[in-house]
Amino acid sequence: SSDAQNDVAADPAMEAPSSIRVYGTVTEIQDGQILLENDVEGDPYASILLNVTEDTIILSASDYSEKELSDIQQGETLYAYVSPAMTRSLPPMSNALLIFCEIEDELAVPTYATITDISVDEDGTTRISTDQQLILIPGDNTSILTLDGETQLSVSDLAVGDQILASYQIMTMSIPAQTNPDEIRLMP
């Protein structure tokens, strides 16, 4: 007997994520690498070594200002988005694409995602699909801004392939989850 009938067709708009979110406390910083550790039971990335490269973006979670590796302190909590390509070593090692530091409210750390599809329903509702299994439905109260927050944008400024930071309070429990974001920032 074949298990083929159990295969669920993948939604073409839902691509594999281009990054994986990890978090933890900085336990070591050495030679451009950060060891992050958390004590969440069952977290496959409870201990992970982040390679900080010249392409790594380090942002303050409080105001999105750009930071340097030297700004990160041992004992600090970080959220990081890393490449899904990682070593099989223990702890696994991966290139950090984006690191959030200066985290005041863990619930407020935005989601870093790549836009995979933008569609408009018959009723005019815009749906922005992302690679993070998250659909953003911008409303009248959604701010769309440049990363520095200085320029107001509109949905028409967003395109498939753009990388964004999405901030939201609640999302549906569906897969993919849906949310009406408070803010979308377009990465340069």
* The pLDDT value given to residue 14: 52
* The pLDDT value given to residue 16: 78
Q: Cα separations (Å) of 168 from 92, 121, 182, 183?
A: 30, 21, 5, 7
User: Strands 111-120 and 126-130: what pairing?
Assistant: antiparallel
* The pLDDT value given to residue 165: 97
**Cα–Cα dist 34/120, whole Å:** 42
Full pLDDT tens readout for the chain, 188 residues: 444 433 334 444 456 789 999 999 999 999 999 999 999 999 999 999 999 999 999 999 999 999 999 999 999 999 999 999 999 999 999 999 999 999 998 888 999 999 999 999 999 999 999 999 999 999 999 999 999 999 999 999 999 999 999 999 988 999 899 999 999 999 99
* The pLDDT value given to residue 17: 87
pTM of the model: 0.88
* The pLDDT value given to residue 8: 38
Nearest to 94 by CA among 102, 105, 86, 104: 86
* The pLDDT value given to residue 107: 84
* The pLDDT value given to residue 88: 92
**Cα–Cα dist 144/155, whole Å:** 7
